[in-house]
Amino acid sequence: MNAVASRARRPSDQGSDLSWYSIGREVLRANGLEGRAYTVYNAVGPDDRFLFPDKGVNWASTAVRAVAAVSHDETVITTRMIDGHLQYLEGIGLIPDTARVIQVDPEFVRTKKVFGYPYNDAVEQLRQQKVTICNDGTGYLIPAFSCPQVDEQARSIGLNPVGFPDSHQTNNKRFLRLDSDSFGHTMAPGAVIEDWKDVRPAARQFGGSKHGAWLKLDYAGGGMLVMEIPRVTADSVIREMRKIRHRAIDAFKLREAAITIARFWPKQKVSPKGLAFVLESSAKNSGPIAVNVNTQIMTYKTGEIRIVCHTKQLTGSDGEFLGSVRFHPSEQVRADIEDQATKAARSIQARGYYGILGVDSFLLSDGKVLVTEVNARPNSSTFPTIAAAKLGATEWVSFDVKAHASDGSPRYFMNISDYVDIVGRELAVRGNPRDGLVVPLSFQTYVSGPNVVPDASVKIMVMARDVQRRDEIVQELHERGLRRE
């Protein structure tokens, strides 16, 4: 694969109007296809190579996030929403008249304790029920994660696969690193560990690092599957690899896949089937981190690249993703970020991926930009970006909160009325994107038909005319008992 030199279109070229940006229609156009887009945010799908380690999370709720981003002539396939949520989004203008939302009940008995595939996967439930949602051959399934099994899911319910490459190729930290020499994006020093013999040389590379290194699987979720190693030695690397193995196997169990755990990750193997570890120098070794940036980009089959926007990622002390907020870098900083993001996007485009992707990078205090990873799919910043554009919001922030009563006990969301009561009608219903509007993107409450497992957590989006008003609303929500997790 060779780098292709051409300038990416920037937001300044396109103006502030992002009405063209969508999770379905524009993705079809990027792939040179015509038809109706059926989108699904399949965060935990049939690909048992991609692991999310937290059993306590209702992964079915992640599919709901795409509903607020649905555009004209698109259909979103999602798991069941809490009572009144869809009508609420329609009422504030987030669901166009020509859009369609298909809600599917997860299998309640199997998922009320373990939120795993296939019981929480909306498309898989349609397949098992032998439901055909498009009979004329014009519909295309646009998933977040793609693999041959997802293509088969699409065909089984009457939809065409878009033709995405395997996500293992396009969401892979190892391949992104190996492609950096050809495409020119700058990354923190790192080493790929594919065999036990790779451990000692990799550890020696970072043995004297002041801030140590991070250990991660090349194709897996973050959070509990990413380990910080303050003092890097071969023993410490192996110890953290074992921790990741334990957590990955624990996550693998919730899938109840057809293959055994022994085949998934044999004890004698350094990593699961087809995967590898990446040991990466902490970015702090290159200098203080000023901003954790996400750049949203569209890649096209024609070779075109369009830069959509930049967001600042909100992270915890351990690097865990907490939310995102609009980011307005200076002209020079933006040019540097876009240069690196475009080069990284070219490497994914060269692998045959055309559609939405997010390039994560660290902006260091000296202005240097280090690419950290690429997510070739809609990401956590995509949905609020599109929602804000539809409502004309100039400033926004999105994050998870948990509702608390005055005595500190949790307040559960059974329906949208509970949300309005907690947030207040002025901000939840009567508000507007200028003076202040707080929109629920997805609830952790689990719904399957008449069965409801209540939860106090919700992913919200706060919109306002400026940063000051936005932050005032966040403080007001905190005083109402809605606190960041």
Given a cut of 70, whether residue 318 has pLDDT beyond it is no
What are the pLDDT digits (tens) for 416-461?
Answer: 999 999 999 999 998 888 889 999 999 999 899 999 989 999 999 9
**What confidence tier does 14 reach under pLDDT thresholds 50, 70, 90?**
very low
Averaged pLDDT score across all residues of the chain:
89
pTM equals: 0.92
What are the pLDDT digits (tens) for 44-102?
Answer: 677 767 766 565 566 778 899 999 999 999 999 999 999 999 999 999 999 999 999 99
Q: Can you tell me the distance from the alpha carbon of 81 to that of 180, in angstroms, rounded to the nearest whole number?
A: 41
Residue 282 carries which side chain, given as an amino acid letter? S
**What confidence tier does 221 reach under pLDDT thresholds 50, 70, 90?**
confident
- Residue 300: its pLDDT value, please? 98
- Residue 16: its pLDDT value, please? 60
The separation between the first and the last C-alpha atoms of the chain, rounded to the nearest angstrom, is 42
Q: Can you tell me the distance from the alpha carbon of 238 to that of 186, in angstroms, rounded to the nearest whole number?
A: 27
**What confidence tier does 222 reach under pLDDT thresholds 50, 70, 90?**
confident
Q: Can you tell me the distance from the alpha carbon of 175 to that of 182, in angstroms, rounded to the nearest whole number?
A: 11
Nearest to 453 by CA among 115, 84, 40: 115
- Asked whether 141 and 24 are in contact (CB, 8 A), the reply is no
What are the pLDDT digits (tens) for 270-311?
Answer: 888 778 999 999 999 999 999 999 999 999 999 999 999 999
